[in-house]
Amino acid sequence: MANWHPLSGVYAAVITPLNQDYALELEKFPELLAFLASRGCHGALLLGTTGEGPSFSPEERYQLLRSALLVRQEHPQFRLLAGTGTPSLDESIRLTRAAFELGFDAVVTLPPYYYRNAGQEGLFLWYRQLIQQAVPRGRYLLGYHIPSVSGVPLTIELLKRLKDAFPERFAGIKDSSASAEHALELGQTFGAELLVLNGTDRLFSLALQAKASGCITALANVVSPWLRQVWEAHLQGQTDVAAQARLDAARRVLEAYPPAAPFVKVILHRVFNFPRWSVRPPLLPFASDVADQAVAAWLQVEHA
């Protein structure tokens, strides 16, 4: 495989289990990660957008990261990635260091999203300080490109500078732009030199053809076997059109019932018998009628 990287593969942007009082519910979390491993995920990203990362304190994040390590008792090769980006450089450094000290394989780091008009030089200096102070040799940082949410895009020029400055430690990006044009531009610009993990299920096959190295998606919590089918076909130089079509249909359901965190938690509860986990404000759980509609639409896709 020409674009192989130690982090290549299929990842779930895993949800964060919460009790009805919004406190972390850690007892079932390793079981959820083992569920993902058993259904074809190479690993999971904790505390991303679907994991409601910005809603948690550093102490809560550390508790969740530490609890995730238990999955490796049953699945020792399961890769763990941590979302560590905050508007504070110091806090991001401390979270990143903590993730690596616990044994995480990589971090996926949002840009400092409060200052949406920050220039490219400032963003480069921010990431440079983070990598120099918190990312050890043999571990990896990926930038998190989700401009529709963060308001701060990671431009091609910025990616070039970071890759030139840190050719190994700056591995690449999670591309959640949901843009086919951007997926193609990344491939045309970097080829296999930049690790790109695509964040939009309906673009997975296209992104792989454009030299992406895998995916991190919200729907991988519940459709990882289909993502893995697309991935395995890619390794054989093929495209699994049927599996991609199922992913397209699943994505349409998710986009009809946003946001991702409450949607995925409803499906995990109603279809896969996990507890009825809450979301933390400002997100809200689905009302009963909306949950019924979302599950019915989901089951149509699953049984098609």
11 classed as catalytic: no
115 classed as catalytic: no
174 classed as catalytic: yes
Q: Which of 16, 49, 50, 217 is catalytic?
A: 49
49 classed as catalytic: yes
Q: Which of 144, 211, 217, 257 is catalytic?
A: 144
**The Cα angle at residue 193 between residues 98 and 1, in degrees rounded to 5:** 100
CB-based contact 257:294 (threshold 8 Å): yes
- Tokens found for residue 166: 């840190």
Q: Which of 22, 114, 155, 160 is catalytic?
A: 114
Q: Which of 11, 50, 127, 174 is catalytic?
A: 174
Catalytically annotated residues: 49, 114, 144, 174
